[in-house]
Amino acid sequence: MPQDDDEDPRNGAVEANDHAHQSPLKKPRLTRPISEPDILQEFSHHQQGFARINNGSFGSCPRSVLSAQNTWHLRFLQQPDEFFFNSLRKGILESRAAVKALINADDVDDVSLVDNATTAAAIVLQQVGRQFADGSFRKNDAVIMFHCAFPAVKKSIGAYIGPAGGSVVEVRLPFPVRSNEEIIAEFKKGLERGKINGGRVRFAMIDHITSMPSVVLPVRELIRVCREEGVDQVFVDGAHSIGSVPVDVKEIDADFYVSNLYKWFFAPPAVAFLHCKNSKGLVDLHHPVVSQEYGKGLALESSWVGNRDYTPQLVVPSILEFVNRFEGGIKGIMKRNHDGVVKMGTMLAESWGTMLGSPPEMCASMIMVGLPSRLCVTSDDDAMSLRTHLRVYHRIEVPTYYQALRNEDRDPKDKDGFITGYVRISRQIYNTDEDYHRLKNAINQILEDGKICSMLPVE
């Protein structure tokens, strides 16, 4: 809440020294940690009686943060001019400072708040496009990304870089995946392909945690490989990362790093941070919505893109307050989510006779679980039908994924055939084991009824 409070843990966050960047993360209150009934209450606005195992798509926001947001909103409505002149800028700076401490950034000027990772991608790709257009990057130079990069980001690359002249190399993510080495090997091959036209790989877009299929990538090693190959700029799309894996931007050392705060860090829709290494040196990085703040640096440009509702950007201190009510703060939450999702994933795989899409150490708070081949997931439509059927008939929300066979000896199988479908289960603090048992039973029921995806009713 935006009130003064002697005990306000935000004071710790704002004043945290760089070397003690973990203090806002690790300072749970000395009073007892939040109780189970409190957690239920915080998420009582979620649809009841519904197994919500898809935190990864749209995230979640506890009541106390929504309440803080509402307080800001009301202040704006009461006297918007006063709010604009006296409160807004300060409030955004406070949020940015809290994020800076969270991610171990050097300089708060390097931390911008934007709507979401999609917006951050447009910002970064616009300047890459410019470098192709003005000749700093040549026509035979390339950009590299993973084949399973988020669809919006792929379109953004097509929109901003394609017309400007660069070529795009896509690296296929081995999936199911067994080790980091497999991924690094594919990436290295991709870098070689990028040089085929005699040019260089200028820009690499690397997911920290891929969306579909979901795997935690070895970003630190991949960036090291990029630096060895002389890649000019590395952009890490960490849409899922903050609140599910540790994020230390100095250690990761990307040129650009974005993560959504509303997915795993309890922000309301929608706010993300974009960290730019040495932003003062980046003269050509701009928010595409140009306002009076143009030219003052991305962080200031992003803090005013015309009259809008900025309340999601103002509640970061309140989120820290929430997170620090938990044992171990955000670190404790991350660990418990991870352990829980692995346990439940393993339980599902055992019940269905399938397997996990990645080893536990390559997942965070989400994991891919193979669906029984008897369901006959033969297309994206099949996968979507299953998802809709589960929502409408079983009150379960879980995203599904179809992957065609690749005709390699590694195509996954169960006792009945090839596995082509997966679910991506998420675990957040509001989930209980019951949610996943419901999913287990629903799939088993569908199989018992002898149904396959294309036969499932969806209305």
Residue list 162-191, contact with another protein (CB under 8 A): 163
**305 binds another protein per the rule CB under 8 A:** yes
Write down the least CB distance from residue 67 to another protein, Å: 12
Query: Which amino acid makes up residue 308?
Result: R
C-beta separation of 237 from 260 below 8 A: no
* Cα-based distances in Å from 80 to 84, 87, 103: 6, 10, 32
Write down the least CB distance from residue 171 to another protein, Å: 20
* Measured distance CA(24)–CA(98) in Å, rounded: 8
**294 binds another protein per the rule CB under 8 A:** yes
**391 binds another protein per the rule CB under 8 A:** yes
Among 24, 194, 312, 317, binds another protein (CB under 8 A): 312
Write down the least CB distance from residue 326 to another protein, Å: 20
* Measured distance CA(381)–CA(393) in Å, rounded: 18
Tokens coding 388: 């809709």
**458 binds another protein per the rule CB under 8 A:** no
Write down the least CB distance from residue 307 to another protein, Å: 5
Cβ-count burial of 287 within 10 angstroms (0-12 exposed, 13-18 middle, 19+ buried)? buried
Of residues 260, 310, 305, the one with CA closest to residue 287: 305
Write down the least CB distance from residue 304 to another protein, Å: 9
**117 binds another protein per the rule CB under 8 A:** yes
**256 binds another protein per the rule CB under 8 A:** no
Within a 10 A sphere around the Cβ of 374, how many other Cβ atoms? 17
Long-range contacts of 386-391 (CB under 8 A, 24+ apart): 386/421, 386/453, 386/456, 388/458, 389/446, 389/456, 389/457, 389/458, 390/439, 390/442
Question: Measured in whole angstroms, how far is the alpha carbon of residue 30 from the centre of its chain?
Answer: 31
Candidate ranges 22-30, 72-80, 222-230, 445-453; the one touching another protein (CB under 8 A):
72-80
Among 26, 35, 80, 230, binds another protein (CB under 8 A): 80
Q: Which x/- pattern over 412-451 shows residues binding another protein (rule: CB under 8 A)? A: ----------------------------------------
CA angle (430, 248, 204) in 5-degree steps? 105
Q: Which x/- pattern over 352-381 shows residues binding another protein (rule: CB under 8 A)? A: ------------------------------
Tokens coding 156: 């953004």
Residue list 15-44, contact with another protein (CB under 8 A): none
* Cα-based distances in Å from 213 to 304, 359, 366, 401: 35, 13, 10, 7
Closer CB to another protein, residue 248 or residue 293? 293
Write down the least CB distance from residue 355 to another protein, Å: 26
Which residues here bind another protein, judged by CB under 8 A? 45-47, 50, 52, 54, 57-61, 66, 74, 76-82, 84-85, 115-119, 121-122, 125-126, 133, 151-152, 155-156, 158-160, 163, 260, 262, 268-270, 286, 288-292, 294-295, 305-309, 312, 388, 391, 397
